[in-house]
């Protein structure tokens, strides 16, 4: 429920184009015989907020580091605007990164940190632009060609700090900033180069809940205002659902599903996605025919079709889609087994003859009460069984 409300608050990008900016083709990565990426194929469009979501060790950070040029893929290609950028070092790539632990330079103050990219660019201007022009085509040069005067750099720094809400912090030392402030400086420092892509590696991980939620909206806001493509790595499904235009769910070096937050949440492709993104009741079922599934001993109407007759399937019912009704009036009868207060809602376990269903509801039920659970055909989501991938 909470998640859905938050999603509604954010108006989706309307100026988003479907032009591919980054294409990952068959990326694999091996560390000392350990395969962490097993063939990643992904297209990221211009102006998109893409989130790589998955548990730790799923390869999401490695994917990001390959895009940023910090790691070389064992095989596969990274295309930027249709051109292979494999041989470009990280300092030549049109992307900038916000690191997990911010990585602000401790011997520089806020202003010097934020200005770092421009200062360096001024020094390298001529050489760098010719290289980029050669590698990526001359349309990327216009912005990078500029040599900035000191006043212009100071102006840009002020503008960036304003963007991240840190006006007047220019002369502060890094060690005097709080975690949230350091986070903002890191974002400003990465954005000042006006990259085509901003890579963010779990940037909100170290912040407390309230600040994290605040930063989620701010990041989304910054992304919309700047029109820069964001690639965001997180293991936090709520973060992913709140901010993204596109979520890429990964596991064990394989992409499980790519889709909008709504797709991922409402139409998970497999058990893993259903479990990882939000809570689910996942039930073994048998697809009798189109629009009819059998589970827990009952034939139940659904909206899914296209499965073969009598195919074994997983039935997903989200906890907030189940209603508790008086005994005899629902699909299955049961007893209220356990009630936990979660703040916005109650989490109630109802024990039926076959299994325990988890239900999220704002109405309190007494433990031990005889009730029934009810859900409609549109609340049921049928997906193929995940056979090959071990849990």
Helix (H) or strand (E) segment spanning residue 236: none
E-only strand ranges, 280-327: 281-289, 292-295, 298-301, 311-317, 323-326
**Residues forming a β-bridge with 103:** none
Stretch that binds another protein, among 109-117, 232-240, 264-272, 285-293 (CB under 8 A): 109-117
Give min distance, CB of 120 to another protein, in A. Answer: 5
Residue 107 or residue 139: which is nearer to another protein going by CB?
107
Distance of closest approach, residue 218 Cβ to another protein, in angstroms: 15
| Nearest 10 degrees: Cα torsion 158, 161, 165, 171 | -80
SS3 content of the chain, % helix, strand, coil (to 5): 35, 30, 35
172 part of the interface to another protein, by CB under 8 A: yes
> Considering the rule CB under 8 A, would residue 281 count as an interface residue with another protein?
no
Does residue number 353 form part of the binding site for another protein (CB under 8 A)? no
Nearest to another protein of 176, 310 (CB atom): 176
Does position 309 interact with another protein (CB under 8 A)? The reply is no
Tell me, residue by residue from 83 to 102, as one string, x for binding to another protein by CB under 8 A and - for no binding.
Answer: ------xxxx--xxx-xxx-
Kindly tell me the number of DSSP H helices and DSSP E strands found in the chain.
Answer: 10, 20
- C-alpha to C-alpha distances, 196 to 97, 116, 309, nearest whole angstrom: 11, 18, 49
User: Could you say whether residue 123 binds another protein (CB under 8 A)?
Assistant: yes
| Pairing of the two strands 311-317 and 323-326 | unpaired
Angle between helices 110-136 and 179-191 (to 10 degrees): 30
Which one of 31, 105, 338, 364 is in contact with another protein (CB under 8 A)? 105
158 touches another protein by CB under 8 A:
no
Residue with Cβ nearer another protein (89 or 151): 89
Binding of another protein by 391 (CB under 8 A): no
Comparison of 113 and 270: residue with beta carbon closer to another protein: 113
How far is 276 from 247, CA to CA, in rounded Å?
12
Instruction: State which of residues 7, 74, 124, 213 lies at the interface with another protein (CB under 8 A).
Output: 124
Q: Total number of residues binding another protein (CB under 8 A)?
A: 33
Binding to another protein, residues 173-232 (CB under 8 A):
173, 175-176, 189-190, 193
Is residue 61 a contact residue for another protein (CB under 8 A)?
no
Task: Report the C-alpha gap between 216 and 260 in whole angstroms.
Answer: 17
Asked if 363 and 346 touch (Cβ cutoff 8 Å), the reply is yes
29: helix, strand or coil:
strand
Q: Which residues bind another protein (CB under 8 A)?
A: 68-70, 89-92, 95-97, 99-101, 103, 105-107, 109, 116-117, 120-121, 123-124, 128, 171-173, 175-176, 189-190, 193
């Amino acid at each position: 429920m909470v998640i859905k409300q938050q999603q509604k608050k954010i108006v989706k990008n309307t100026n988003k184009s479907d032009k591919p900016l980054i294409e990952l083709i068959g990326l694999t990565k091996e560390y000392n015989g350990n395969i962490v990426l097993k063939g990643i194929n992904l297209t990221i469009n211009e102006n998109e907020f893409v989130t790589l979501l998955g548990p730790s060790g799923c390869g999401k950070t490695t994917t990001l580091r390959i895009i940023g040029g910090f790691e070389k893929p064992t095989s596969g290609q990274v295309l930027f605007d249709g051109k292979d950028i494999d041989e470009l070092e990280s300092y030549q790539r049109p992307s900038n990164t916000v690191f997990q632990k911010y990585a602000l330079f401790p011997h520089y103050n806020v202003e010097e940190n934020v200005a770092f990219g421009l200062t360096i660019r001024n020094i390298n201007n001529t050489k760098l632009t010719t290289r980029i022009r050669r590698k990526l085509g001359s349309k990327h040069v216009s912005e990078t060609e500029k040599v900035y005067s000191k006043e212009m750099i100071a102006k840009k720094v002020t503008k960036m700090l304003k963007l991240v809400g840190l006006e007047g912090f220019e002369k502060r030392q890094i060690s005097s900033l709080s975690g949230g402030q350091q986070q903002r400086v890191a974002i400003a420092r990465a954005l000042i180069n006006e990259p085509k892509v901003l890579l963010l590696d779990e940037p909100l991980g170290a912040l407390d809940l309230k600040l994290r939620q605040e930063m989620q909206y701010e990041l989304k806001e910054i992304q919309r205002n700047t029109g820069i493509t964001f690639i965001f790595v997180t293991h936090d499904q709520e973060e992913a659902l709140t901010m993204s235009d596109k979520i890429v769910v990964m596991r064990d070096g394989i992409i499980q599903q790519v889709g909008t937050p709504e797709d991922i949440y409402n139409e998970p492709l497999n058990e893993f996605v259903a479990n990882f993104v939000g809570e689910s009741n996942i039930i073994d079922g048998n697809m009798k025919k189109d629009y009819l599934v059998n589970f827990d001993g009952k034939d139940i109407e659904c909206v899914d079709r296209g499965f073969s007759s009598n195919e074994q399937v997983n039935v997903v019912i989200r906890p907030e889609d189940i209603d508790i009704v008086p005994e005899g009036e629902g699909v299955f009868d049961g007893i209220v087994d356990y009630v936990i207060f979660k703040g916005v809602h109650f989490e109630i376990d109802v024990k039926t003859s076959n299994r325990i269903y988890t239900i999220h509801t704002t109405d309190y039920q007494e433990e031990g009460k005889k009730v029934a659970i009810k859900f409609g055909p549109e609340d049921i989501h049928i997906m193929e069984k995940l056979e090959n991938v071990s849990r």
